[in-house]
Amino acid sequence: MRSKILLVLLLIFLSLQATNPKPSVSPLNAFMATSSVAQTLNLSSPPSQNLDGEDDLLCSESTQLSEQPDDYEQQRLSILHSPSGYLSEDSRIEGAWAHWKKLGQPKLIVAPMVDNSELPFRLLCRKYGAEAAYTPMLHSRIFTENEKYRSLEFTTCKEDRPLFVQFCANDPDTLLEAARRVEPYCDYVDINLGCPQRIARRGNYGAFLMDKLPLVRNLVEKLALNLNVPVSCKIRVFPDLQDTINYARMLEDAGCSLLAVHGRTRDEKDGKKFRASWNTIKAVKNAVRIPVLANGNIRHMDDVQNCLEETGVDGVLSAESLLENPALFAGFRTAEWGLGSGEYMEDGKLDQADLLVEYLRLCEKYPVPWRMIRAHVHKMLGDWFRIHPQVREDLNAQSKLSFEFLYDMVGRLRELGLRIPLYVESTQVGRMSANGIVT
């Protein structure tokens, strides 16, 4: 009897579940939505009414919005017709282009790289064709609080222009304070909206702000309204094209003067595994009016040419490939990309050991932490170490490095008879100047 009652109760429960399905909002989504609102309420400048729905607007998986197309359209229009209005927007866009033109419209740009796009490396890349460069990402809060961090992590010199100084941030006032300290030394203050690493999730910055767009808007507006140099943003793309376009337009509307688009999503962390989407970058370029830079898949100058043609962007960033080959923008290729292109490539009379020696000389002039130097040695000489692993082992055994040790190490590789040339197209060989740069 008791078991019969239990069975009837179970059947009633199941039929209620079938007729009243739970809303498909996961506890995580609910948490993100509340935390985003809480964040917004804490900010010094309150978000405008238009922004309340932006998180949802850009979330293509939001069930709520797909059930309410009218709301979606209303929110979309409210973003496009934001309070800044078209007239002032026109003049802002003219200003963004005037600034870009004043800088000489650099096309070949060193991407921001933590511990890797520091001053000596930027100068080396500039010598070999880079027309502008980003600093590594700097942490805005630590930058405002810690003098030692500032002096170690941010150095520059007068040849180091045009320069983007990049910060990660999640508080507009702190970001502004950090930005004010660097604005006399740079051409853009850049906001990192693309870092996908766990540390960025924990620190609530980078690509994890893609879940908190009202905050992103506040960060951009704060700088755009208060700084003397323009603000730029480096973003990743959303899985959905329209979300990415809305995102880019929101940034432009908030006062961003230049947008660098890394054509991979937040989940596509491995650059070797996932190709960046140039189609998405092209769509962003067509959707906004400020200068746009493309990032992803730039390994040599043919990629640069193809990317500029296919996307119509105003310039390109390169990261990983420049670490191996800082002379990439001068037309040099590593054997991986040089030899594969067949009979048109020739020894460019320059190799990665030459570049490393030049880099070390720059480090002697402009000191940087040894961990950065060590990272560059491994990147530039990776192929060389694969042939002579014992040289790498000796390097790894050094808990403290010295320039003497590193110059000797290059000498030792040479004595071992090793030389892995960088290649150039044979038509360029005749145009080499004495220092190896294609003129």
Ligand X SMILES: Cc1cc2nc3c(=O)[nH]c(=O)nc-3n(C[C@H](O)[C@H](O)[C@H](O)COP(=O)(O)O)c2cc1C
In sequence order, the β-bridge partners of residue 133 are 110, 163
Residue nearest to ligand X (CB): 137
Binding residues for ligand X restricted to 259-298, rule: CB under 6 A: 262, 271, 295-296, 298
- Of 109, 81, 34, 371, which is closest to residue 250 (Cα–Cα)? 81
Candidates 76-84, 188-196, 279-287, 327-335; binding stretch for ligand X (CB under 6 A): 188-196
Q: Which of 123, 319, 362, 363 binds ligand X (CB under 6 A)?
A: 319
Neighbours of 182 (CB within 10 A): 21
User: Contact 207/194 with Cβ under 8 angstroms?
Assistant: yes
Half-sphere exposure of 429 (CA within 13 A, CB side): 12
Would you say 345 and 333 are in contact if contact means Cβ atoms under 8 Å apart?
yes
Beta bridge partners of 421: 351
Pairing of strands 421-425, 345-351: antiparallel
- Is 333 in contact with 300 (CB distance < 8 Å)? yes
Rule CB under 6 A: choose which of 47, 53, 112, 129 binds ligand X. Answer: 112
The amino acid occupying position 324 is: E
Nearer to ligand X, 40 or 232 (CB): 232
What's the closest the beta carbon of residue 262 comes to ligand X, in angstroms?
4
Question: Could you tell me if 423 and 338 are in contact, meaning their C-beta atoms sit under 8 angstroms apart?
Answer: yes
Q: List Cβ neighbours of 160 (8 Å cut-off, separation of 6 or more).
A: 119, 122, 123, 126, 133
Nearer to ligand X, 158 or 371 (CB): 371
Instruction: Name which position in 120, 162, 194, 436 contacts ligand X (CB under 6 A).
Output: 194
Q: Is 209 in the site for ligand X (CB under 6 A)?
A: no
Catalytic residue among 195, 233, 256, 307: 195
Report in angstroms how near the CB of residue 139 gets to ligand X at its nearest: 10
- Piece in contact with ligand X (CB under 6 A), picked from 34-42, 248-256, 319-327, 417-425: 319-327
Which of residues 320, 336, 347, 383 is near ligand X by CB under 6 A? 320
Site residue total, ligand X (CB under 6 A): 21
| 373 token code pair | 């130097």
Paired tokens of 337 = 């990309």
Question: With respect to ligand X, which residue has the nearer C-beta, 205 or 385?
Answer: 205
Whether 233 is catalytic is: no
Taking contact as CB under 6 A, which single stretch among the options 53-61, 155-163, 189-197, 362-370 is the one that binds ligand X? Answer: 189-197
- Which is nearer to ligand X, 113 or 210 (by Cβ)? 113
What pairs with residue 295 in β-bridges? 262, 317
SS3 assignment, position 153: helix
Rounded distance between C-alpha atoms, residue 241 and residue 243, angstroms: 5
Q: Spell out a b/e string for 365-388, using b for 16 or more CB atoms within 10 Å of the CB, else e.
A: ebebeeebbbbbbebbbeebbeeb
DSSP three-state, residue 341: helix
Question: Going residue by residue from 391 to 430, which x/- string records binding to ligand X, judged by CB under 6 A?
Answer: ----------------------------------------
Rule CB under 6 A: choose which of 144, 218, 318, 428 binds ligand X: 318
**Residue selected from 58, 113, 176, 288 as contacting ligand X according to rule CB under 6 A:** 113
Among 96, 108, 110, 114, interactor with ligand X by CB under 6 A: 114
Stretch that binds ligand X, among 62-70, 179-187, 211-219, 313-321 (CB under 6 A): 313-321
Question: Angle 291-248-284 (CA atoms, 0-180°, nearest 5)?
Answer: 65
Q: How far is the CB of 193 from ligand X (least distance, A)?
A: 8
- Check: CB of residue 402 under 8 Å from CB of residue 163: no
Q: Which is nearer to ligand X, 249 or 264 (CB)?
A: 264
In terms of CB distance, is 127 or 376 closer to ligand X? 376
Catalytic residue IDs: 195
Interface residues with ligand X (CB under 6 A)?
111-114, 116, 136-137, 166, 192, 194-195, 234, 262, 271, 295-296, 298, 318-321
